[in-house]
A = this chain, B = another copy of it.
Amino acid sequence: MKLLEERIKKDGIVKKGNILKVDGFLNHQMDVELFDEMGKEFKRLFADAPITKILTIEASGIGIACVVAQSFHVPVVFAKKAKSLNIDGEVFTSKVESFTHKRVYDIIVSKKFLTPEDHVLVIDDFLANGCAVMGLIDLINDSGATLEGVGIAVEKGFQTGGKMIREKGIHLESLAIVDGMNDETGEIFFREQ
């Protein structure tokens, strides 16, 4: 998606260690009008899928998921990262390893909100090693719902998550795939799609 690639080039900041900071428009400050354009693009890319629900994970996936959901006219469910006292009853649960935060955490979704009748699109801001997305897919599989696909804003193409998910035959669409960065020049190299 050219609009997103151009925004990453303009406002993304390359740091040592293959870190790409997009906190000015994607995951701390959020440009909701860009998100709306991303929603229209996901709607085009998943036009044939009978999606009934969008699933994401707190916290930075929620904003994108909610704006994208408006293009699909479906509700959003977000997986929570720890057992909250406000969640009662039964939950689906999975484990996710966060390399950013250097720990493993549980993710949970109330069983009320994922059912065998649901056709689910997973939406998240970033795809790197794929642990968060695989955790969400575990929840979907446990619920008996149908996974229709995965929509990602920015994929780090030099990490393994995208390859792993595509090799499973899952319909994955990343609006921008970063294949490399140069932290001295600030250059960002995108995969042709």
Contacts and interface: CB of A to CB of B under 8 A. Distances in A.
Interface of A: 15, 19, 21, 23-25, 28-33, 35-36, 58-59, 62-67, 69-70, 73, 75-78, 80, 84-88, 100-102, 109-110, 112-113
A63 B76 contact: yes
Contacts of A65: 63
Nearest to A113: B29
Contact of A28 (B35, B36, B110): B110
Given A58-B58, A62-B62, A85-B101, A30 B67 contact: no
Most chain B CB atoms below 10 A, which of A36, A86, A100, A102: A86
Contacts of A59: 58-59, 62, 78, 80
A100 B84 contact: yes
A75 B34 CA distance: 10
A88 to B, nearest CB: 8
A136 B66 CA distance: 22
Contacts of A101: 84-85
Contact of A78 (B15, B63, B80, B85): B63
Contacts of A62: 58-59, 62-63, 66
B110 A30 contact: no
Contacts of A75: 25, 29-32
Nearest to A66: B63
Contacts of A25: 75
Contact of A29 (B21, B77, B88, B100): B77
A5 B86 CA distance: 21
Given A24-B113, A28-B87, A30-B76, 18 more contacts: A15-B88, A21-B88, A23-B87, A23-B113, A24-B112, A29-B113, A30-B77, A31-B75, A33-B73, A35-B66, A58-B58, A58-B62, A59-B59, A59-B80, A62-B63, A63-B63, A63-B65, A66-B66
